[in-house]
Structure 1
C-alpha cells in the first residue's frame, strides 16, 4: 500500500472475455482508495499465473511475474479460489458461485445429468477452473467415456456451442446470466455442477494492507444499490446482492 499511496496509482491487470466488468469493478476500488487506476489488458487468462519463464506450474510455490515485478497490483478478475492458485496468490473472496453447463436450447434433452457429458465435446479456456474440472471428471466419473476438450476464449467457446461446433461449455453461474440472457440467448443453462466455489480478486501474498483494504471495500458492497451492485446490473444483468440470494436458493437439477 505504501507504494500505491506514493505513486497515487493502482495497477489493475484484467483478463478474459469479461474484462470490461473486471475493469469497471477495479476502477471503483481505485476510487475507494482515492488513487488513479492504471489498466493493463493481459493477452491471456493464464498469464496471471506465469513464472519467470512464462509458464504456469500448478504444484510450485512462487509469485507470478506480473505481481512480483510490480506491473500489476491487483487482478480484479473474479478468480475461483483453488489450492494451486493459493500457492502463488492471495485471493480475497467476494462471492460464492456454482459451475454451470451451457448448451444450445435445442439440445436440452441431451443435457439432463452429468453422465450425459461423456463422449461429448467441450470448449473452455485453458488453466481455468472449468478446464481443471473437466480433467478431473475425465479421470474419474467419465473415465470410460471422457469429454473431448478443446481450448478457446470464453466468447469463442460460446459461439462454438451456438454453431454446433462443440456440444457444451462451462461457466460460473454469474457469467451464465450475462451470456444466456444478453449475449447469446440461443444458449441456456443445462444444470449446475460441482461444489460451490469462492470467487475473489488476487494480489501479491505479501501485500497484506492492500488485502485488508480490499476486504473492507467488499464488505461495503453487500448492501442494496452498492457500487458493485450497479456495475453487475449493467454488465451481468443481475445485481451482486441478487446473485448472492440466487446462489443461496439454487438447487441441482
Structure 2
C-alpha cells in the first residue's frame, strides 16, 4: 500500500512538471525562472528581472546556448510542424521567455505567447544601397545575413519560395551583431531585422547602415510561458498594461536599448498597415444587402467622417514620429561631435595647440564667423590663447582691436553665467575674415568652469541665430575643455602667469 502511494506521488510530480509552472507555484517557491537567448540576452534579462520584481519574487536567469533552444522538444530538436510544449517550459527549467518573440503560428504550438507590442521586419543595408534596393522585388539575387532560427530567416525563406525561377536571396546565418557587421563591411548586401532593433543598430552606425523599407506584414511580439499557466498570463498582461506609460522601467529599458522609448515606438507602430482593422469595421457595420439607398448614403457619410478623423490622427502620429526621429538624430550628431573633439585632442601637447583645436572643432559644428578662447586667472584677469578668423595675426592683437567687448568677458568671468547678445548690430562688432566683413547674428560667451571657478571663456560670433541645439552642444563639450585647460595650466604655470592679461574678442582667418 505504501509502495503504491509512493509511486502515485512520483507520477503526480512528474505530471506536474510536464505542464510547466503556474504563477501560484512561482509565488510559492519565491522564484521566477527566466531563460534568455540571442544577441540581446542582456536586454531581455533586465526586462525579465523587472517583471520578477513586479511579482515580488526573486529572479533566477539562465542564458540558453542557442536561440532555437527555446522551442526544443524533449529530444532536444525543434519540429515546427508538430504541436508540443517546449521542453524548457514543460520541465519547469524556464517559467518565462522575455525575448520579444515574434508571434507566429508555429510558435503558438509550443507555448503561450503574451503580446505587448506590434513590430514589422525592415531591410537594413548600407546607405548607398538605397537607390538600388527600393522594394522587395529588388532583393532577389542579393546576399543576406540574418540570425538563424528567427522570424527574419523564416521571412527570407518564404520570400525565396515565392520567387519561382527568379534568382533567390543567398542566405547566410550569423548572430545579429555579426550580420550587421557583414552589411557594414559589404560582405552582405542587406539584413532583415525587427524595426525596433533597426533603430538601435542604424543610429549607432549612421555612416554604414540605413533602414530602407518594411517587408512582410506587421506582427505582434511578446513573451513566452507554459500552456498551463493562465494566471501567469494574466499577470504578464497587467505588467504590460502598467508599463505603457512614459518613464516606466520597460519604457526606459527600450530607450537604453534601442534609442527610442516604448511609448515613442508605439507612435511608429501606429503607422503600420491598418487594412485589417478597417476590414473588420466594415464587416461589423456594413449595410445589409437590399437596404434602402438613403441608408447606404448615410453609412457612407458616417465612414467618410471616420476616415477623415483617422487620417488626421495618422498625420499627427507621423508628425510626432518625425519630431522624435529628428531629436534622436540631433542627439546622435552631438555625441559624434564630442567624440571628434576627444579624438582631435589626443595628440595635443601645449595649451596654445589645445585652444586652437577646440576652436577648430567648434567651427566644424557651429555657424561660427569668429571665435576667441581666453584664459581667466584667479584675479579675473584674462589672457588670449587662440582665435578663429579676425583681423589680427595673433589672438592678443585680435583682442586689442575690440576693447569695447571687454565688459562682456569681465561680466562672464565674474558671474560664471553665459552671456548671449542677439542681433548686436553693425556698430557693435564686425566679423572679419579673408572673405570680407559682416555683422554677427548673435554673440555668445561660454564660461568654462572647473572646481566651481571660471578658468576660461569662449567667445563666439555666430552667422546664424543661437539655438537650443547650439547650447546643448557647448554644454556637452564644456567639461572636456575644462579638464584639458586645467591639465595644461598645471603643467605650464609659468606661461600662464607671464605678464598682464588683456581681453581678446575676435578670431583669425580660417
Query: If the length of structure 2 is used for normalisation, what is the TM-score?
Result: 0.48
User: Which residue of 1 is the match for residue 103 of structure 2?
Assistant: 81
> Structure 1 residue 249: deviation in Å?
2.5
In structure 2, what is the equivalent of residue 99 of structure 1? 121
| Cα deviations by residue, 1:84-111 (Å, 9 ceiling, x for unpaired) | 0000110000100110001011322121
Task: Show the counterpart of 1:139.
Answer: 161
Q: Contact 1:118 / 1:142 at 8 angstroms: preserved in 2?
A: no
**CA apart distance, 1:211:** 0.7
Q: Unaligned regions of 5+ residues in structure 1, if any?
A: none
Q: Which residue of 2 aligns with 1:55?
A: 77
Contact preservation (8 Å) 1:115, 1:142? no
Q: 1:184 to 1:157 in 2, by over 3 A?
A: farther
1:111 to 133, 137, 142: 133
Deviations 1:13-68 (A, max 9, x none): 11111112111111110000001111101111101001122111001011111111
Give 1 or 2 for the bigger CA radius of gyration: 2
Q: CA deviation at 1:142?
A: 6.1
Match of 2:227 among 205, 208, 223: 205
Question: Equivalent of 1:65, from 87, 94, 104?
Answer: 87
Q: 1:101 to 1:2 in 2, by over 3 A?
A: same
How far apart are residue 117 of structure 1 and its match? 0.3
Work out whether residues 179 and 185 of structure 1, in 8 Å CA contact, stay in contact via their aligned partners in 2: no
For 2:248 and 2:92, the matched residues in 1 are separated by 30
| Corresponding residue for residue 46 of structure 2 | 24
Segments of 4+ in structure 1 off by > 3 A? none
Counterpart CA distance in 1 for 2:232 and 2:261 is: 25
Structure 2 contact 37–64 (Cα < 8 Å) conserved = yes
Q: Structure 2: which 5+ residue stretches go unaligned?
A: 1-22, 274-510
Q: CA deviation at 1:2?
A: 2.1
> In 2, Cα distance between the equivalents of 1:46 and 1:183?
28
CA deviation after TM superposition for structure 1 residue 247, in Å = 1.5
Query: Aligned match of 1:161 in 183, 192, 197?
Result: 183
- Per-residue CA deviation, residues 66-91 of structure 1 (Å, 9 max, x unaligned), is 11111110000000000000001100
- Match of 1:186, SS state, is coil
In the TM superposition, what whole-angstrom CA distance separates every residue of 1:193-240 from its partner, at most 9, and x where no partner exists? 111010000001111111110011001111221221111111111110
For 1:44, which of 60, 66, 72 is the aligned residue? Answer: 66
Q: Which has the higher strand share?
A: 1
Is the CA contact 2:97–2:223 (under 8 Å) kept in the aligned structure 1? yes
Aligned-residue offset at 1:143 = 4.8
Q: Which has the higher helix share?
A: 2
Superposed CA RMSD:
1.4
| Closer, same or farther: CA 28–183 of 1 in aligned 2, 3 Å | farther
- From 8, 11, 15, the counterpart of 2:37: 15
- Aligned to 2:170, which of 121, 138, 148? 148
Picking from 208, 215, 220, the partner of 2:237 is 215
The higher-RCO structure (CA 8 Å, 6+ apart) is: 1
Q: Give yes or no for contact 2:218–2:272 (8 Å, CA) kept in 1.
A: no
Aligned-pair CA distance for 1:141:
3.8
More deviation, 182-191/23-32: 182-191
Match of 2:152 in 1: 130
Encode CA deviations 1:99-136: one digit per residue, 9 max, x unaligned.
Answer: 00010113221211111100001111222111111111
The aligned length equals 251
Equivalent-residue separation in structure 2 for 1:61 and 1:212 (angstroms): 23
